[in-house]
Amino acid sequence: MTGTTDAPRSPGRPRSTRAAEAIIEATLDLLAEGSTIEAISMEAIAARAGVGKATIYRRWPGKDALLRDALRTLKGAPPQPTGHSVREDLILLVGAIGHTIDPRAAKIMPCLLPEAQRSPEHYALCQSIIEPRRAVMREVLRRGVRSGELRADLDIEVTMAMLTGPMLIQRVLNWNPDLDETTMPEKVVDGVLTGIRAH
Amino acid sequence: MTGTTDAPRSPGRPRSTRAAEAIIEATLDLLAEGSTIEAISMEAIAARAGVGKATIYRRWPGKDALLRDALRTLKGAPPQPTGHSVREDLILLVGAIGHTIDPRAAKIMPCLLPEAQRSPEHYALCQSIIEPRRAVMREVLRRGVRSGELRADLDIEVTMAMLTGPMLIQRVLNWNPDLDETTMPEKVVDGVLTGIRAH
CB–CB contact B196 A154 (8 Å): yes
| Ranges of chain A whose pLDDT falls below 50 | 1-9
Considering the domain boundaries, does residue A8 fall inside one? no
B98-132: per-residue pLDDT in tens?
877 788 887 787 667 666 777 788 888 888 888 88
- Where residue B191 falls (left for φ over 0; alpha for ψ -120 to 50; beta otherwise) is alpha
User: What is the percentage of chain B residues whose pLDDT exceeds 90?
Assistant: 58
State residue A1's pLDDT score. Answer: 39
Mutation test of the interface with chain A: which of B94, B104, B194, B196, choosing the one with the most A Cβ atoms within 10 A? B196
Residues B113 and B30 in one domain: no
CATH code for the domain in which residue B145 is found: 1.10.357.10
Instruction: Write the DSSP assignment of chain A as a string of letters.
Output: --S---SPPPSS--HHHHHHHHHHHHHHHHHHTT--TTT--HHHHHHHHTS-HHHHHHH-SSHHHHHHHHHHHHH-SPP---SS-HHHHHHHHHHHTT--S-TTHHHHHHHHHHHHHH-HHHHHHHHHHHHHHHHHHHHHHHHHHHHTSB-TT--HHHHHHHHHHHHHHHHHH---TTS-TTTHHHHHHHHHHH-SB--
Question: Which residues on A lie below 8 Å from B169 (Cβ)?
Answer: 161, 164-165, 168-169
Tell me the mean pLDDT in the region B88-92: 97
Residues B56 and B99 in one domain: no
Say if CB A190 and CB A166 are below 8 A apart: no
Residues B138 and B170 in one domain: yes
Residues B109 and B164 in one domain: yes
Residues A184 and A124 in one domain: yes
Considering the domain boundaries, does residue A189 fall inside one? yes
More confident residue, B49 or B104: B49
State residue A159's pLDDT score. Answer: 97
Question: Which residues on A lie below 8 Å from B160 (Cβ)?
Answer: 176
Residues B101 and B176 in one domain: yes
- The pLDDT-based confidence of B3 (bands split at 50, 70, 90) is very low
CATH code for the domain in which residue A20 is found: 1.10.10.60
Question: What domain range is A108 assigned to?
Answer: 76-194
Considering the domain boundaries, does residue B68 fall inside one? no
- The pLDDT-based confidence of B160 (bands split at 50, 70, 90) is very high
Residues A114 and A168 in one domain: yes
State the smallest CA–CA distance between residue B98 and chain A in angstroms. 12
Residues B45 and B136 in one domain: no
CB–CB contact A179 B195 (8 Å): no
State residue B6's pLDDT score. Answer: 45
User: What is the percentage of chain B residues whose pLDDT exceeds 70?
Assistant: 91
State residue B12's pLDDT score. Answer: 65
Considering the domain boundaries, does residue A118 fall inside one? yes
Distance between CA atoms of residues A90 and A80, nearest Å: 11
Give the highest mean pLDDT range of A31-35, B74-78, B154-158, B175-179.
B154-158
User: CA–CA distance from B24 to each of B32, B76, B106 (Å)?
Assistant: 12, 13, 17
Domain count, chain B: 2
State residue A46's pLDDT score. Answer: 97
